[in-house]
């Protein structure tokens, strides 16, 4: 597939590329190498810039005041948005506003007033509460958090883990089992205010990447009114599944974007670094690493765009999304690893972004479904059946 950008896409990508290189990268030079946030004043200034560019709230539908950028354009943007030190984390994506929680677009009018619109205005933050300590690869079976009807309320008990931002969120979308006998057909989605009695952030989970990456939540006799059910009772898994499949494409594209930048750095360095009287670029072992990097990058980029275009055409894209996520995270990790090797000792230092990307790429092989689950998804689609 020889993908050719439209004129509109080319304009958007040029804007994003310039924004990242002229606004984000210089800011990061003044931050701690592991920083996950930027100064609030800088953040507000950058948000105002993206709004003026018409690129704030990327996935927000026009009826809610956003541009609702298609998946293909979002993927092309992700290639560019990731090309800085914190490219797989918060700073750049947050100033573009993201899509909020897309599930809220299907909320009732009252729920939209209380939850959706404040998120779109940047007044409230939210979390997505799916993964549990019992396992996250098969959420339909792993969900053990229970919700029992008590009068006009639901009473929830359970736990969640690896939940991003719950310690700073105002509310969240939380999934609980409401029918023990129906498998994925017995899961309901609830809107949870973080100040509700019974909701507690037990701890921040210190992960490979950042101290504030994830949290563990405990839910003890949490009473939730019926009006806080999002969607229909016992149909919450469909809400989660839609998010997981579609999100995998730009998630994978971010990995490819980092790989593109790491390859650019490796090529530049191998031309100027000399060993035993000759540039590294003359060494066959280095040449092969550069070539292998390019193969990984082009293959993953191709699959990301194929998945995005199928999604935009309304075709089934589950296999392609799984393949994009698998290739993007694994190939991206290989590219960064080779780039570190080419840079030698400098590649291990925090003077360069490579070591941070290396850690973040390792996490990406787990997030949005681990590589093994992506292979299972593809096998099911290719062979058929619901085998394990």
Tell me the two tokens of residue 211.
Answer: 């101290």
**CB 361 within 8 Å of CB 333:** yes
Strand ranges, E, within 80-205 = 126-129, 146-150, 153-163, 171-177, 187-193, 199-205
| Residues that are catalytic | 368
Give 238's contacts (C-beta < 8 A, 6+ positions apart).
Answer: 231
**CB 243 within 8 Å of CB 103:** yes
Q: How far is Cα 218 from Cα 203, in angstroms, rounded to an integer?
A: 9
Strand ranges, E, within the chain = 126-129, 146-150, 153-163, 171-177, 187-193, 199-205, 214-225, 229-230, 274-275, 278-279
Tell me the two tokens of residue 236.
Answer: 């919450």
Q: How far is Cα 218 from Cα 213, in angstroms, rounded to an integer?
A: 17
Residue position matching structure tokens 């990268």: 25
Closest-CA residue to 245 (of 303, 317, 295, 306): 317
**CB 339 within 8 Å of CB 354:** yes
Q: How far is Cα 250 from Cα 80, in angstroms, rounded to an integer?
A: 11
Phi-psi region of 279 (alpha: psi -120 to 50; beta: other; left: phi over 0): beta
Closest-CA residue to 121 (of 50, 168, 56, 53): 56
Q: How far is Cα 127 from Cα 104, in angstroms, rounded to an integer?
A: 12
Q: How far is Cα 234 from Cα 221, in angstroms, rounded to an integer?
A: 20
């Amino acid at each position: 597939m020889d993908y050719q950008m439209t004129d509109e896409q080319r304009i958007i990508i040029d804007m994003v590329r310039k924004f990242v290189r002229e606004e984000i990268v210089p800011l990061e030079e003044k931050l701690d190498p592991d920083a996950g946030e930027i100064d609030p004043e800088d953040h507000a200034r950058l948000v105002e810039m993206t709004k003026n560019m018409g690129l704030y709230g990327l996935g927000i539908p026009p009826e809610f005041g956003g541009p609702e950028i298609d998946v293909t354009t979002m993927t092309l943007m992700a290639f560019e948005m990731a090309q800085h030190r914190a490219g797989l984390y918060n700073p750049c994506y947050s100033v573009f506003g993201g899509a909020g929680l897309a599930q809220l677009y299907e909320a009732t009018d009252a729920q939209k007033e209380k939850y959706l619109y404040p998120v779109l205005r940047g007044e409230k933050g939210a979390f997505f509460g799916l993964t549990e300590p019992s396992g996250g690869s098969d959420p339909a079976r792993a969900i053990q958090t229970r919700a029992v009807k008590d009068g006009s309320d639901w009473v929830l008990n359970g736990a969640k883990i690896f939940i991003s931002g719950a310690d700073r969120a105002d509310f969240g979308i939380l999934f609980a089992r409401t029918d023990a006998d129906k498998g994925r057909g017995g899961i309901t989605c609830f809107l949870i205010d973080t100040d509700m009695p019974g909701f507690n952030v037990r701890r921040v989970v210190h992960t490979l990447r950042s101290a504030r990456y994830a949290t563990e939540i405990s839910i003890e006799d949490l009473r939730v009114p019926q009006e806080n059910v999002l969607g229909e009772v016992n149909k919450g898994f469909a809400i989660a599944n839609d998010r997981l499949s579609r999100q995998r494409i730009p998630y994978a594209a971010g990995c490819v974007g980092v790989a593109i930048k790491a390859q650019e750095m490796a090529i530049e360095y191998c031309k100027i670094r000399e060993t035993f009287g000759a540039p590294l670029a003359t060494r066959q072992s280095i040449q092969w690493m550069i070539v292998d990097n390019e193969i990984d990058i082009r293959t993953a980029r191709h699959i990301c765009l194929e998945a995005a275009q199928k999604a935009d055409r309304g075709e089934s894209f589950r296999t392609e999304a799984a393949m994009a996520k698998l290739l993007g995270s694994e190939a991206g990790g290989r590219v960064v690893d080779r780039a570190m090797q080419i840079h030698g000792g400098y590649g291990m230092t925090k003077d360069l972004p490579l070591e941070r990307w290396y850690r973040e790429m390792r996490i990406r092989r787990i997030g949005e479904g681990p590589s093994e689950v992506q292979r299972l998804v593809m096998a099911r689609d290719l062979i058929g059946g619901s085998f394990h």
